[in-house]
């Protein structure tokens, strides 16, 4: 029996196990929406903006570990998803974006709401398709999911002309897919793995530097095993947070620009850096030539282009992180007879690391007059027992979440790493809450970032999502202001937001409970009330506008040259000290 392209699409999505689709309708996708009208097994979630839909699908994917799906119309609907697609691309998130397109015979005629979305998104998708015949539709969907979720995952866009949704064809969902030109390498080279094991069992000052690849390949258990078998300290990138327990004694904290002193110094003095599912991003390495200058590198990654892109690697291993780590751990166990001896020989290293941790732990100046943003994160961590998903936005608050929320489990830190997309957090929290309906989900937002997609408060209210939004309200684009303070003579150009709107009233306008904390003593009570409230709550924390994220490696500097927010103290490792700024950097 022949069914319509629109029906084929929805049936295929169900075959792929999709239960939720985020989006917004429009002219050329009406056929598809008509099928959705009677659909029982597939939830359609109407967002208030297509960027919100695609970010929500992305958040869903990050929390669930399965592709998220967005469905939008042609032209502006499609172009509105571009930022979200680029965002997913940078962070290797499996995302399926289905865009309607004008009828096949109209393509290229500048038809109403026509945009060459395949052309526009070519550089920011893993792959994209323009469907040319209804007979290919099912296979194309199969391929789209296959490409998005295998190898190094990424976004795939499917552009479906209006006439294809309307045309009819026999439907049989393909069981298998194989593409002769696409064969990711899943298993690492055995010989290289042996080399790596030997290097690890010889290293006196080893460090593991792991990233988002650990989470994408569900390899956190294997990573933990590797670290524990012969006691290797671990640092994580922003994307890797949760891939290794934040409360583990071997955990050094995040590394890089706003990483911990211990993490950056450990890398700097290490003789063996084991890079796992990480790509030597510039926010991580600082000045590349000064990144781990004394170390040999092992680099495990599924994407060969990541290897030797930014840094010379001694032992490259291309493969799926989980598989490679399983093999590597096996290999290490086979040659671990000298393990106790080795751990003894590494004692000076462990004590050095401990010393760094003691020398400069993460810290901030406490206050009982004004709310310190770090304090809010600490309290959220404490009150949630650490058992929550936190979707953050982009800016200072994002770094404070990364520093002060000790993520113990993978897929609980949801943040825009590679692209740094303000406005990601709120819709991503929506996606995460749909993916994990029983989990406590926070969106920690900056007052700037929040305003980039605040329309999605409607989506939260209508779907009664119990998301707890914490706005770290500093009245400014804090991260920009921080750079201007430190590097542009305190010229706060274009970075002051003037504390508008009234977020509590805004929440109330959407039928969402709004709470506000103005002094440190109110913080805990507000968080407690939010957590114990059924349904969504927006918390507005009026925080110290002058607070900065420390430590910090100035852009282009080496990671050992960190700035601290404390009174001048010249530290070992060329640390440059900086006087704490006064709080009154902003107009009242």
Q: CB-wise, 161 or 536, nearer to another protein?
A: 161
User: Which position among 14, 43, 113, 352 bears the catalytic label?
Assistant: 113
In the block, residue with structure tokens 């208030």: 48
Judged by CB under 6 A, the stretch of 35-43, 244-252, 391-399, 508-516 that binds ligand TPP is 391-399
Q: CB-wise, 99 or 474, nearer to ligand TPP?
A: 474
Q: CB-wise, 168 or 518, nearer to ligand TPP?
A: 518
Binding of ligand TPP at residue 420 (CB under 6 A)?
yes
Binding of ligand TPP at residue 551 (CB under 6 A)?
no
Encoded tokens for 341: 């001896």
* Residue 394: exposure state from Cβ atoms within 10 A (0-12, 13-18, ≥19): buried
Measured CA to CA, the distance from residue 49 to residue 51 in angstroms comes to 5
User: Which position among 254, 422, 479, 562 bears the catalytic label?
Assistant: 479
Count the residues of the shown chain that bind another protein, applying the rule CB under 8 A: 18
> 170 - beta bridge partners?
2
175 is catalytic: no
Q: Site map for ligand TPP, 348-387, x if CB under 6 A? A: ----------------------------------------
Binding of ligand TPP at residue 422 (CB under 6 A)?
yes
> Nearest distance from residue 309's CB to another protein, in Å?
6
**End-to-end CA distance of the chain, in Å?**
70
Binding of another protein at residue 95 (CB under 8 A)?
no
> Which residues between 102 and 141 bind another protein (CB under 8 A)?
118-119, 122-123, 126-127, 130
474, 484, 548, 559: which one contacts ligand TPP (CB under 6 A)?
474
Cα Rg of the chain (Å, integer): 25
Evaluate whether 389 touches 439 at the Cβ level (below 8 Å).
Answer: yes
162 is catalytic: yes
Q: Site map for ligand TPP, 443-472, x if CB under 6 A? A: ---xxxx----------------------x
Other CB atoms within 10 A of residue 127 CB = 18
* CA-based nearest residue to 282, from 222, 237, 339, 217: 237
φ/ψ (deg, to 5) at 429? -65, -35
Encoded tokens for 547: 């607070």
Binding of another protein at residue 304 (CB under 8 A)?
yes
Judged by CB under 8 A, the stretch of 73-81, 305-313, 331-339, 370-378 that binds another protein is 305-313
> Nearest distance from residue 298's CB to another protein, in Å?
18
> Which residues between 443 and 482 bind another protein (CB under 8 A)?
none
270, 374, 412, 421: which one contacts ligand TPP (CB under 6 A)?
421
Evaluate whether 102 touches 114 at the Cβ level (below 8 Å).
Answer: yes
> Which residues between 156 and 195 bind another protein (CB under 8 A)?
179-182
> Nearest distance from residue 304's CB to another protein, in Å?
5
User: Which position among 2, 112, 190, 487 bears the catalytic label?
Assistant: 112
Binding of ligand TPP at residue 586 (CB under 6 A)?
no
Binding of another protein at residue 289 (CB under 8 A)?
no
2, 105, 308, 330: which one contacts another protein (CB under 8 A)?
308
* CA-based nearest residue to 32, from 44, 48, 20: 44
Q: CB-wise, 226 or 476, nearer to ligand TPP?
A: 476
> Nearest distance from residue 245's CB to ligand TPP, in Å?
26
Phi-psi region of 171 (alpha: psi -120 to 50; beta: other; left: phi over 0): beta
User: Which position among 7, 11, 16, 50 bears the catalytic label?
Assistant: 50
Binds 181: which of ligand TPP, another protein, none (CB < 5-8 Å by kind) = another protein
Length of the chain: 588
Q: CB-wise, 212 or 536, nearer to another protein?
A: 212
Distance of CA 146 to the CA centre of its chain: 21
Measured CA to CA, the distance from residue 95 to residue 61 in angstroms comes to 7
Distances (CA, A) of 104 to 25, 111, 120, 159, 167: 19, 11, 18, 11, 12
Other CB atoms within 10 A of residue 27 CB = 14
Query: What one-character-per-residue DSSP string does 55-111 give?
Result: HHHHHHHHHHSS-EEEEE-STHHHHTTHHHHHHHHHTT--EEEEEEE--GGGTTS--
Query: Which sign, positive or negative, has the C-alpha torsion 545, 549, 552, 555?
Result: negative
User: Which position among 162, 372, 379, 468 bears the catalytic label?
Assistant: 162
* CA-based nearest residue to 66, from 9, 126, 17: 17
Q: CB-wise, 151 or 395, nearer to another protein?
A: 151
Measured CA to CA, the distance from residue 63 to residue 57 in angstroms comes to 10
Evaluate whether 161 touches 136 at the Cβ level (below 8 Å).
Answer: no
22 is catalytic: no
Other CB atoms within 10 A of residue 185 CB = 16
Q: CB-wise, 257 or 477, nearer to ligand TPP?
A: 477
Site residues for ligand TPP per CB under 6 A:
393-397, 420-422, 446-449, 472, 474, 476-480
Site residues for another protein per CB under 8 A:
118-119, 122-123, 126-127, 130, 147, 179-182, 303-305, 307-309
Q: Which residues are catalytic?
A: 50, 112-113, 162, 479
């Amino acid at each position: 029996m022949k069914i319509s392209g629109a029906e084929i699409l929805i049936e295929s999505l169900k075959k792929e196990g999709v239960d939720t689709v985020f989006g917004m309708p429009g002219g050329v996708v009406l056929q598809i929406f008509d099928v959705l009208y009677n659909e029982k097994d597939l939830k359609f979630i109407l967002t208030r903006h297509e960027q919100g839909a695609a970010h929500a699908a992305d958040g869903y994917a990050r929390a669930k570990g399965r592709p998220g799906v967005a469905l939008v119309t042609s032209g502006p609907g499609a172009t509105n998803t571009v930022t979200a697609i680029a965002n997913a691309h940078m962070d290797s998130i499996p995302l399926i974006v289905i865009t309607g397109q004008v009828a096949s015979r109209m393509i290229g005629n500048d038809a109403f709401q026509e945009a060459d979305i395949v052309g526009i998104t070519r550089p920011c998708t893993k792959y994209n398709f323009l469907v040319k015949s209804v007979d290919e539709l099912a296979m194309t969907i199969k391929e789209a999911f296959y490409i998005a979720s295998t190898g190094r995952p990424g976004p795939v866009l499917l552009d479906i002309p209006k006439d294809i949704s309307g045309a009819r064809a026999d439907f049989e969902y393909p069981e298998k897919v194989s593409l002769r030109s696409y064969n990711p390498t899943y298993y690492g080279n055995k010989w290289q793995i042996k080399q790596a094991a030997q290097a690890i069992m010889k290293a006196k000052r080893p460090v593991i530097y792991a990233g988002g690849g650990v989470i994408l390949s569900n390899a956190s258990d294997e990573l933990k095993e590797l670290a524990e078998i012969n006691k290797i300290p671990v640092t994580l990138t922003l994307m890797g947070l949760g891939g290794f327990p934040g409360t583990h004694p071997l955990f050094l904290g995040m590394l890089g620009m706003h990483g911990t002193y211990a993490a950056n110094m450990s890398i700097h003095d290490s003789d063996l850096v084991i890079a796992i599912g990480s790509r030597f991003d510039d926010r991580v390495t600082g000045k590349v030539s000064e990144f781990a200058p004394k170390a040999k590198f092992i680099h495990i990654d599924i994407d060969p282009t990541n290897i030797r892109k930014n840094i010379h690697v001694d032992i490259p291993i291309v493969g799926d992180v989980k598989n490679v780590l399983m093999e590597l751990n096996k290999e290490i166990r086979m040659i671990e007879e000298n393990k106790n001896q080795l751990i003894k020989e590494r004692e000076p290293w462990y004590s050095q690391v401990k010393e760094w941790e003691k020398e400069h732990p993460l810290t901030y100046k406490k206050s009982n007059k004004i709310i310190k943003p770090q304090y809010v994160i600490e309290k959220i961590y404490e009150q949630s027992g650490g058992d929550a998903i936190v979707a953050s936005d982009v800016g200072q608050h994002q770094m404070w979440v990364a520093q002060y929320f000790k993520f113990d489990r993978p897929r609980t830190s949801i943040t825009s790493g590679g692209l740094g997309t303000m406005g990601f957090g709120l819709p991503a929290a929506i996606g995460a809450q749909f993916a994990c309906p029983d989990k406590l989900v926070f969106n920690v937002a900056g007052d700037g970032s929040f305003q980039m997609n605040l329309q999605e408060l409607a989506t939260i209210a209508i779907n009664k999502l119990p998301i707890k939004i914490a706005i770290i309200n500093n009245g400014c684009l804090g991260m920009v202001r921080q750079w201007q303070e430190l590097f542009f003579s305190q010229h706060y150009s274009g970075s002051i937001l003037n504390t508008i709107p009234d977020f509590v009233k805004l929440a109330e306008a959407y039928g969402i409970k709004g709470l506000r904390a103005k002094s440190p003593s109110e913080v805990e009570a507000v968080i407690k009330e939010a957590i114990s409230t059924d349904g969504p709550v927006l918390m507005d924390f009026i925080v110290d506008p002058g607070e900065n994220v420390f430590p910090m490696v100035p852009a282009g500097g080496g990671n050992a040259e960190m700035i601290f927010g404390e009174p001048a103290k010249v530290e070992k490792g060329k640390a440059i000290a900086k006087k704490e700024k006064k709080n009154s950097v902003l107009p009242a």
